[in-house]
C-alpha cells in the first residue's frame, strides 16, 4: 500500500491484539509525532485494538462487532466479558466511530452508552469487478456454504437441516467451502446423519475461484450465530445468487427486505430446511446489488469521514 509503514510489536504472536493494545498505550503518541499523522484510524472489537489513552490527534474507531455481542451469542466465550471495560473506554475516547452494521451501532448506543452523534454506519462492501454474474445456468438443487468451519458460523445448524431437504429434494447437493477447527466434527456429523452423498467438503477455495463458485450455486446459505457483517452474503448477491441466512446481527439488515433472499431463526432446523426447499423451488437471481454494498460507496464515505 502507498506509504505503508510496518511497525514491530513484541509479543504479537502469543498475545495478539492485547500486545498491540499495550504497545499503542506506550508508543501511540510517539508514532503520531514520528510520522506526522493528522488522524488515526483504529479497528476495534474482538480481534481489534483496545485504545485506552487519549492521543494528540483525532482518532476514528472502526467497530466490526463488539465483545458484548460475542459473549452474549456464543456461550463458550463468556470469559471475553473481561475486555468490556477496556472496549467501552475505547469507544468513549474515540472522536468518531464507524460501525459496519446498524445492529452493532445499536449495541454501542444501548449497551455501551455511546452518544449516537458519534456513530456513523458504513456497511462493508464488495468489489463488483471480482464478484459479478457470469451468465449461464446455475446447477440445479445446489446449496453453497462459504466460510470457516466452526460452530460460530452455524455450519452444524446447516448440516442438521440437510436430511429434511434430502427427504423432499433427493438430488440436493450441499457444497461446503472452507476450513476450520470443526471440520472433522462436521464430517462425522454428516456420516452420523447419513447424508454423505448430499454433502461435499471442498476445503479451502482461493479467492480467485469464489466468484465462479457463487455463480454455480442455486442458493447460498449463511447460517451464522451472529456476524459483524455478512461479507459472504453480499459476495453471493453481487454474483447474482440469492441467500438464505440466520435472522441475526449482521445478516438481518441485508436480507430483511426480502428482495435478496430469506431469513430464518438461528437454530430452527425445520425453518431452515423449509426456507432452502422453497428457495430451490423458486429459482431466480438476486436483485441488483444496492449502492451501499459496493466498494466505491465505501471508499467515498470513508473519505468523507476522514475529511471532516
Among 90, 17, 280, 86, residue whose Cα is nearest residue 169: 280
CA–CA–CA angle 23, 29, 31 (5° rounding): 75
pLDDT-derived band of residue 259, with 50, 70 and 90 as boundaries?
confident
Residues in contact with 215: Cβ distance below 8 Å, sequence separation at least 6, in sequence order: 133, 134, 136, 138, 239, 240, 241
For residue 110, the model assigns a pLDDT of 97
Residue whose C-alpha is closest to residue 131's, from 218, 217, 243, 208 = 208
Domain that includes residue 21, residue range: 12-121
Predicted pLDDT of residue 285: 84
Same domain for 18 and 71? Answer: yes
Tell me the mean pLDDT in the region 44-51.
91
Helical packing angle, 183-193 and 155-168, nearest 10°: 30
229 within 8 A of 253, measured Cβ to Cβ: no
Q: Are residues 115 and 171 in the same domain?
A: no
Is 197 part of any domain?
yes
DSSP 3-state of 208: helix
Q: Are residues 154 and 246 in the same domain?
A: yes
Based on the fold, state whether residues 225 and 95 are members of the same structural domain.
Answer: no
Asked whether residue 301 is domain-assigned, the answer is no
pLDDT at 12: 84
The reply to whether 104 and 237 lie within a common domain is no
Cβ-count burial 228-237 (b if 16+ within 10 Å, e if not) = bbbbbbbbbb
Q: What is the pLDDT of residues 128-147, one digit of tens each?
A: 999 999 987 888 899 999 99
Report if residue 298 sits inside a domain: no
Q: What are the pLDDT digits (tens) for 269-279?
A: 999 999 999 99
Q: Is the pLDDT of residue 84 over 80?
A: yes
Give pLDDT, residue 194.
96
Q: Give percent of the chain above pLDDT 90.
A: 82
d(CA 127, CA 83): 33
Report pLDDT digits (tens) over 185-212.
999 999 999 999 999 999 999 999 999 9
- The answer to whether residue 134 sits within a structural domain is no
Both 146 and 280 in one domain: the answer is yes
Residues 24 and 99 in one domain: yes
Is residue 4 situated within a structural domain?
no
Instruction: Please report whether residue 303 resides in a domain.
Output: no
Place of cell 454423505: 196
Judge whether residue 114 has pLDDT over 90.
Answer: yes
For residues 308 and 39, give the distance between their C-alpha atoms in angstroms, rounded to a whole number.
Answer: 11
Given a contact cutoff of 8 angstroms between Cβ atoms, the answer to whether 240 and 286 are in contact is yes
Question: Where are the alpha helices (H) located in 153-228, listed in sequence order?
Answer: 155-168, 183-193, 207-216
CATH number of domain containing 22: 3.40.50.2000
Same domain, 279 and 148: yes
Domain tally for the chain? Answer: 2
| Within a domain: 62 | yes
Last residue of a domain, one of 65, 92, 121: 121
Please name the residue that has the C-alpha cell 465505501. 298
- Verify that 112 and 196 share a domain, yes or no: no
Q: Is 6 a domain residue?
A: no
Residue for cell digits 427486505?
A: 257
Domain identity same for 92 and 166: no
Instruction: Say whether both 175 and 246 belong to one domain.
Output: yes
| Same structural domain, 245 and 173 | yes
Amino acid at each position: 500500500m502507498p506509504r505503508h509503514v510496518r511497525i514491530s510489536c513484541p509479543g504479537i504472536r502469543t498475545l495478539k491484539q492485547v500486545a498491540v493494545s499495550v504497545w499503542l498505550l506506550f508508543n501511540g503518541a510517539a508514532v503520531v509525532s514520528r510520522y506526522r499523522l493528522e488522524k488515526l484510524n483504529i479497528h476495534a472489537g474482538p480481534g481489534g485494538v483496545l485504545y485506552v489513552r487519549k492521543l494528540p490527534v483525532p482518532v476514528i474507531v472502526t467497530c466490526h462487532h463488539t465483545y458484548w455481542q460475542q459473549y452474549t451469542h456464543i456461550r463458550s466465550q463468556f470469559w471475553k466479558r473481561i475486555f468490556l471495560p477496556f472496549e467501552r473506554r475505547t469507544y468513549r475516547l474515540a472522536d468518531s466511530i464507524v460501525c459496519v452494521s446498524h445492529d452493532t451501532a445499536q449495541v454501542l448506543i444501548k449497551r455501551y452508552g455511546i452518544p449516537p452523534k458519534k456513530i456513523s454506519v458504513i456497511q462493508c462492501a464488495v468489489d463488483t469487478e471480482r464478484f459479478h454474474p457470469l451468465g449461464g445456468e446455475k446447477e440445479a438443487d445446489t446449496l453453497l456454504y462459504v466460510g470457516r468451519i466452526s460452530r460460530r458460523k452455524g455450519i452444524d445448524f446447516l448440516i442438521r437441516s440437510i436430511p429434511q431437504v434430502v427427504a423432499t429434494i433427493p438430488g440436493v447437493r450441499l457444497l461446503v467451502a472452507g476450513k476450520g477447527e470443526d471440520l472433522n466434527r462436521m464430517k462425522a456429523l454428516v456420516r452420523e446423519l447419513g447424508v454423505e452423498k448430499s454433502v461435499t467438503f471442498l476445503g479451502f477455495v482461493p479467492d480467485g475461484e469464489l466468484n465462479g463458485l457463487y455463480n454455480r450455486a442455486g442458493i447460498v446459505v449463511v447460517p451464522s450465530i451472529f456476524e459483524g457483517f455478512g461479507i459472504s452474503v453480499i459476495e453471493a448477491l453481487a454474483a447474482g445468487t440469492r441467500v438464505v441466512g440466520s435472522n441475526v446481527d449482521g445478516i438481518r439488515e441485508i436480507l430483511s427486505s426480502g428482495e435478496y433472499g430469506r431469513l430464518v431463526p438461528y437454530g430452527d432446523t425445520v425453518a431452515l430446511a423449509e426456507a432452502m426447499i422453497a428457495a430451490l423451488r423458486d429459482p431466480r437471481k438476486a436483485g441488483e446489488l444496492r449502492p451501499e454494498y459496493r466498494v466505491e460507496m465505501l471508499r467515498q464515505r470513508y473519505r468523507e469521514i476522514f475529511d471532516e
